[in-house]
Amino acid sequence: MKQSEAPLLRVEGLTKRYGAGCERCETAEAVPGGESENRCPVCGTVWACRNIRFHLYPGEILGVVGESGSGKSTLVKCLYFDEDVTAGRMTIAGYKDGEANLFAEFAQQKRYIRNHVMGMVYQNPHLGLRMNVSSSGNIAEKLIAADHFHVGAIRERASDLLQRVEIPLSRMDEPPRNFSGGMQQRVQISKALANNPPLLLLDEVTTGLDLSVQAKVLDLIRTIQRDLRVGMIVVSHDLGVIRMLADRTMVMRRGAIVEHGLTDQILEDPQHPYTQLLVHSLL
Ligand SMILES: Nc1ncnc2c1ncn2[C@@H]1O[C@H](COP(=O)(O)OP(=O)(O)OP(=O)(O)O)[C@@H](O)[C@H]1O
């Protein structure tokens, strides 16, 4: 990562609320709820993400950490258009000169961006894969969505991708439902990479896997970053995962970023009391 380069992704003022909002919670700096709440006590609106701002540089891994309910998943869902934002702006280098606000694009453009510019890996492989379609077919689907129609080339690309994530070629025509959780995540990663996107979003991709399997998936993510120079946003509630992967880290609490910096610095010298609590619970 070279921060002298222009950012790959710029996100400004990203806000997602569930509910209409009211005078009290819309004007407050933070949601005037209880200590652990992001829910307005007056109107019941949940502010899942509030005024999130960050840049991601090409080839960089940005970690997003926070406890359950802090807004991490909502953030990546908004970035991948799985959820519509309430407000905010996102631009990406290489799409309309990095000028267009992607959140304001029409559905067709958003589909294009999801197929060419971003890949997503979900915690639940059922969301990213068709479990009953062959693994090669899953990848083919993504390639076809990006207008690749040459059968031979599709097959070759699928086998390259599956080899990269160490799925034996003898199993490329098996459906992911036959595979272990770790293998399913690896197929999901290969599918997300099918069209060489410069940006990969990963939401709790190792949660629920055995430790040894987790290590293998984390290793794969690092190799991909090194070899393909893909920028990544890695969401995890687990600071161990963040420590292993992320160059920089954002700490989220109650829908807001409470601390943001180099991962080493955050782990060694956390400034915000909430980050201190997270870091000390890791030690
Ligand atoms: N569809 C929805 N309607 C109402 N509130 C929602 C909805 N989806 C999420 N929320 C709320 O938004 C907040 C942020 O949720 P989110 O899933 O982003 O948190 P998270 O940090 O990813 O937590 P976890 O690690 O448990 O997934 C929570 O208070 C959640 O209850």
Residue 79 has pLDDT above 50, yes or no: yes
User: Rounded to the nearest 5°, which phi and psi values hold at 214?
Assistant: -55, -45
> Please, what is the end-to-end C-alpha distance for the chain in angstroms?
28
pLDDT given at position 55: 98
* 190 in any annotated domain: yes
Distances (CA, A) of 233 to 62, 90, 192, 248: 5, 14, 13, 10
Q: pTM above the 0.90 mark? A: yes
ipTM of the complex: 0.96
DSSP-based three-state secondary structure for 39: strand
* 140 in any annotated domain: yes
DSSP-based three-state secondary structure for 23: helix
- Regarding the beta carbon of 70 and ligand 1, being less than 6 Å apart is answered yes
User: What's the pLDDT band for 5 if we cut at 50, 70, 90?
Assistant: confident
* 192 in any annotated domain: yes
* 217 in any annotated domain: no
- Regarding the beta carbon of 38 and ligand 1, being less than 6 Å apart is answered yes
* 209 in any annotated domain: no
Residue 161 burial (CB count, 10 A): 24
**DSSP conformation class of 36:** T
Under 8 Å between Cβ of 83 and 16:
yes
Report CA(44)–ligand 1 centroid distance (Å).
14
User: Rounded to the nearest 5°, which phi and psi values hold at 199?
Assistant: -135, 130
Residue 36 has pLDDT above 70, yes or no: no
* 143 in any annotated domain: yes
* 2 in any annotated domain: no
Domain span at 165 = 129-196
Report CA(64)–ligand 1 centroid distance (Å).
14
* Better-scored residue on pLDDT, 206 or 37: 206
Count of domains in the chain? 1
